[in-house]
Amino acid sequence: MSGINSSKLIQWFNQVKRDLPWRKTKEPYAIWVSEVMLQQTQVITVIPYYLRFMKRFPDLFALAEAEQEEVLELWRGLGYYSRARRLWEGARYVVQMTEGRMPENYDALLTIKGVGEYTAAAIASIAYEERVPVMDGNVKRVLSRILRWEEDVEKARSRRFFLEYLKEVIPGDCPGDFNQGMMELGATVCTPKNPRCEQCPLQEDCESFALGDPQVYPVKKSKEKPTEAFRPTLILLHRGQVLLKKRPTTGLLANLWEFPGEEMMIPSLEKFREGKEWYGLYKNQISDPTYDEIVKELLSRNPSVKGPLVHTFSHRRWQMVWVVLDLDDVIDKSSEVRAGKDSQLKEDGLCWMDVKELDRIALPVAFQKIWTKLQER
């Protein structure tokens, strides 16, 4: 079995590494933030978010003292908001448990809420030069090609084998550069398609290159198709405000704001396209009866049903349709109809928000798409 020449890899990395802001520091908090942001997100997208985040939250204390809503707002557009919540919760945990002193080794880092094996290994090796390997998609791809690994790289057996292999080849003097070199190699040279083998410092070590077709690897099982679902959505407007609802604390888009609606099976789509079922959806979503008659009147006018607009999550695909109900079209402008009972709205997780504030909250991309379409009218 071929072996990785760690000296060649590190020498190559130090010559060609990209000039990224988080590579200019060994501060563990800064590395933590960067690694969380980089999960499932491209480097070029992360850079401006990282710079803004670090300017607003330059240390653990600043992040821990912030309100979760502010953290989510600063994260808006990066997606996968659970990452931001876990980072914020982890910062609060460190401040509470160790008075803000970051743990200084891999095992201790794992005690932080929300820090998994990959993030702990990245921080430990880069900030503290601990000899512990990292394992991400880029590293799996590089190893699968170098070792000509014939099994599904996502299997637990593959992961165990790769980690044991890396523990043997990772150097003790600069493990952080080795780990970053492996990730850099996968990101810039040993890419999923059209790998630049002529630029690879490990070309002589690569068994799949010797066979002449590196793109055969990694071996992966076919991905399951995302579940198809239908998502009717209500856009209620009143006096420059729009009605928003807080999603549940667990599950898809947990704890984020959305326009009222619910996920349904695809067969329901035609009924909503025909204008049916909208009032039933409204009653299911909003228990406060303040606007029942007004909504019923607006729906009787057969408002245009917009969509479908498709949004795909990792394991689910929504077909979204929506109706816009402007309550001011019915309410006498001289009347004093209130925007619902505050206590009842809160019980339903609802609130009226100024439409100008939508750009400042963590509104999921799926609903940003709807709002953008609405603005194009």
Q: Which are the catalytic amino acids?
A: 35
Cα–Cα nearest to 137, from 126, 127, 145, 129:
145
Gap between the Cα atoms of 84 and 226, Å rounded: 24
State the CB neighbour count (10 A cutoff) for residue 182. 29
DSSP sequence for 355-370: GGGGGGS---HHHHHH
Contact 184, 176 (CB under 8 A): no
Q: Which residues pair with residue 324 across a beta bridge?
A: 235
From start to end of the chain, where are the E strands? 227-238, 241-246, 257-258, 306-312, 316-326, 350-354
Cα–Cα nearest to 312, from 231, 220, 200:
231
Contact 238, 328 (CB under 8 A): yes
Q: Tokens 């019923």 identify what position?
A: 296
User: Residue 364 corresponds to which tokens in the numbers above?
Assistant: 């999921």
The CB-based long-range contact list for 14-21 (8 Å cut-off, 24+ gap) reads: 14/177, 16/184, 16/188, 17/180, 17/181, 17/184, 18/43, 18/184, 18/188, 20/47, 21/47, 21/50, 21/51, 21/54
Q: Tokens 């150097």 identify what position?
A: 171
User: Residue 65 corresponds to which tokens in the numbers above?
Assistant: 């003292």
